[in-house]
């Protein structure tokens, strides 16, 4: 049988990969995808720990996280489309209107 710590370890690794993507990539869409990786890593941790405790709460929370991720993806991508229409770029370095 696979100990639970393996699943949570995988979740930690995926979360770190997602965080690396957010910090290192410049393309806004790829940053968004890395955020999705982080959300999925957290989902995995919830499911694994819910299974460990024999409770359905973990899966219900995953259900809500998925729904909120869908809503957030829709609105976030709409914002990116608006930004692209105004600034003609999706490079995060060039979206610096509010920098000093």
Task: State which of positions 80-99 bind another protein (CB under 8 A).
Answer: 80-82, 84, 90, 93
x/- letters, 41..80, toward another protein (CB under 8 A) = --xx--xxxxxxxx-xxxxx-xxx-xxxxxxxxxx-xxxx
Angle separating helix axes 4-24 and 28-53, nearest 10 degrees: 170
Q: Measuring CA to CA, how many Å separate 2 from each of 6, 8, 25, 49, 65?
A: 7, 11, 34, 13, 25
The nearest distance, CB 100 to another protein, in angstroms, is: 18
Residues 4-33 that bind another protein (CB under 8 A): 4-10, 12-21, 23-27, 29-30, 32-33
Identify the residue whose tokens are 């709460």: 57
């Amino acid at each position: 049988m696979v100990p639970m710590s393996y699943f949570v370890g995988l979740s930690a690794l995926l979360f770190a990969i997602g965080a690396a993507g957010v910090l290192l990539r410049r393309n806004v869409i790829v940053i968004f995808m890395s955020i999705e990786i982080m959300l999925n890593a957290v989902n995995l941790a919830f499911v694994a720990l819910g299974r460990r405790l024999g409770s359905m709460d973990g899966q219900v929370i995953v259900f809500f996280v998925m729904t909120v991720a869908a809503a957030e993806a829709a609105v976030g991508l709409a914002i990116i489309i608006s930004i692209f229409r105004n600034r003609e770029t999706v490079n995060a370095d060039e979206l610096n209107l509010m920098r000093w």
